[in-house]
Amino acid sequence: MLSKNSFQAVTTMFRQVSGIQLSDAKQALVAGRLQKLAQARGMRDVDAYVDLLMREGDAQEMVKVVDKLTTNETYFFREPQHFDHLRRLLSERRASAAAGDFRVWSAASSSGEEAYSIAMVLGEHFGLKGWQVVGTDLSTAMVDTARRGLYPIERARLTPTPLLKRWCLKGQGDNLGKLMVAPELRQLVRFECANLTRTLPEIGQFDLVFLRNVLIYFDNPGKADIVKRVLTRLKPAGLLFTGHAESIANLGIPTVGVAPAVYRHA
């Protein structure tokens, strides 16, 4: 079991690092994930593990904790309406952009499925030149997973069959039941760590930014801070995609909705 004091200590540290406040309802989830880290250190008692973590202040161990607490399952082509909108947008755009000119940022890319879903759509439209996708995430473990591009095949359950056949390889042997994103697509998708509540890395400007299913973890001031920071990386005519369960309309930021959960600078 994880005591209330240990839970508060860990969630306070997590909030300071990530900006995310975990509610009391997450205590069981936190306990389960910390139990795995405690066992890896040869400890059975989660409270003892937390006490050691707080006393030692081990930066590498804290990174492991943050990685565990930010790990969320995702899948390819989640919220498919956005990908339909992306296809319509590309069909209206003349395919005459200079190499590397059309850029999309998956700002909370988790294990990479969103970024690769975007890449598949861009690959169908542009081929293998004229675009780039950048994926960022707070978790170093998620970034490492994204760079590998290897996933359980069930995460592709919403992927259109033609895209699955064109851009993914079916696992064999030890990788049976998995898929790997084709290397020619992976080379056009770049992943790195970024904390959306802090100064952003130098990743350039983007035509589109996908900021989906991350704002739900923040209060309104936290949401506004992130959205303002992210918008600095959006080109003047660019679009911001948020999760369909999220809204930025009440944050006092000059944007206008152009489709469900799609916004442009006002």
Name which residue leads in pLDDT, 107 or 249. 107
Cα dihedral sign for 148, 152, 155, 157? positive
What is the spatial distance between Cα 152 and Cα 22, in angstroms, rounded to a whole number? 28
**Range of lowest pLDDT (64-68, 82-86, 129-133, 229-233):** 64-68
Residue 242's pLDDT band, with cuts at 50, 70 and 90, is very high
* Catalytic machinery residues: 33, 137
CA distances from 238 to 76, 83, 128, 230 (A): 23, 16, 22, 12
Q: What burial letters (b/e) apply to 94-109, b meaning 16+ CB within 10 Å?
A: eeeeeeeebbbbbbbb
Q: What is the pLDDT of residue 94?
A: 61
Give the tens place of pLDDT for each residue, 204-225. 999 999 999 999 888 899 999 9
> Of the candidates 202, 184, 71, 188, which has an alpha carbon nearest to the alpha carbon of residue 138?
71
> Pairing state of beta strands 178-181 and 262-265?
unpaired
pLDDT at 145: 95
Say which residue, 26 or 169, is predicted with more confidence: 169
Helix (H) or strand (E) holding 46: helix 46-56
Tokens of 255: 């944007």
CB 241 within 8 A of CB 210: yes
